[in-house]
Amino acid sequence: MSEKTYLQALNEALRQEMEQDENVFILGEDVGQFGGCFGVTQGLYEKFGEARVMDTPITESVIVGAAAGAAASGLRPVAELMFVDFIGVAMDQLFNQAAKMRFMFGGKATVPMTLRMPQGAGIGAAAQHSQCLESWFMNIPGLKVVIPSSPYDAKGLLISAIRDDNPVVFLEHKLLYGVSGEVPDESYAIELGKADVKRTGADVTVVATSNTVYAALAAAETLKADGIDVEVVDPRCLQPLDKDTILESVKKTHALVVAHEAVTFAGPGAEIAAMVAEEALDYLDAPIKRVGAPFCPVPFSPPLEKAYIPGADAIVEAVKGLR
């Protein structure tokens, strides 16, 4: 166990999986000699060569399509798009091909591909490079959606994603790459679809994802001074969603706030709130609150971008609004 950044944890997961399985390879724009747009694949080109760390043209449709074809042919590709915002030009390859192939062939074909995509605001990249689009992928049967918040989770979940026989969308918030935490040096896997309780509490459940987990933990410390004990649940995967852990927490605290950086309207919190309303309504002592981004493109202006991103203050306000 040693201290590693989120970025280093991802890099180590890729290296270890490539060492133990020769069918694992990487493809994407600038993933080779440059080491990836954010540096996640640095050093892998030198270790494994251009046959297994492949630089592609600037064409996301080819990256995702090639990954789907390679996966259907028995390989385990890990494709990288520079930004999740670019997935629009490759959606057919993802949701009409990769996601449906196993179903259309009666389970005889598998598509073990992982699609890594940075997302999120906070670096001044403006409207076309800063979105959180996880709810798009949650709505597509056949895809798994992973959204880790910590270095430990990032490594274990990426290893599981690579080993999974289904296409996995793996979303990495750009502001998390520098976050540090304790990570085992050896290879390990975290089961997809298992949430993690990041903080135990008795008074209110806050379900938070990705970078917003840290805002929820900060809000919990603020609320502690007011005598409010917050439990923070990180789903880690949005598809499959760990309903049991969320429902158990709500049944204990009798109150729910769902927080994420994606826009509030039709965001992942809408599905989580609906699920709790359908399956645990009688346990709630107050209406469910949602915290998310406003329904507008991500601003380029630094003050406006800061105001756009849901933070600890918004979560504190939502929790206090329950009481």
CB 4 within 8 Å of CB 151: yes
Beta-strand runs (E) in the chain: 2-5, 24-28, 53-55, 76-80, 114-119, 144-146, 168-173, 180-183, 196-199, 204-208, 230-234, 237-239, 256-263, 289-293
Considering the candidates 129, 173, 254, 260, report the single residue annotated as catalytic: 129
Tell me 96's DSSP state. Answer: I
Question: Checking DSSP bridges between strand 196-199 and strand 230-234, what pairing results, if any?
Answer: antiparallel
Give me 322's structure tokens.
Answer: 């329950």
> Is 129 part of the annotated catalytic residue set?
yes
**Which tokens sit at 105?**
């062939």
Residue 97 DSSP one-character state: I
Calculate Rg over the CA atoms of the chain: 19
14-29 burial, b at 16+ Cβ within 10 Å, e below that, comes to bbbbbeeeebbbbbbb
d(CA 310, CA 292): 6
**Closest C-alpha among 33, 18, 215, 199 to residue 114:** 18
Rounded Cα gap, residues 129 and 242, in angstroms:
29
What one-letter code names the amino acid at 234?
Answer: D
φ, ψ dihedrals at 27, nearest 5°: -145, 150
What is the longest distance spanned by two Cα atoms in the chain? 59
Question: Does residue 315 contact residue 291 with C-beta atoms inside 8 Å?
Answer: yes
Residues taking part in catalysis? 129
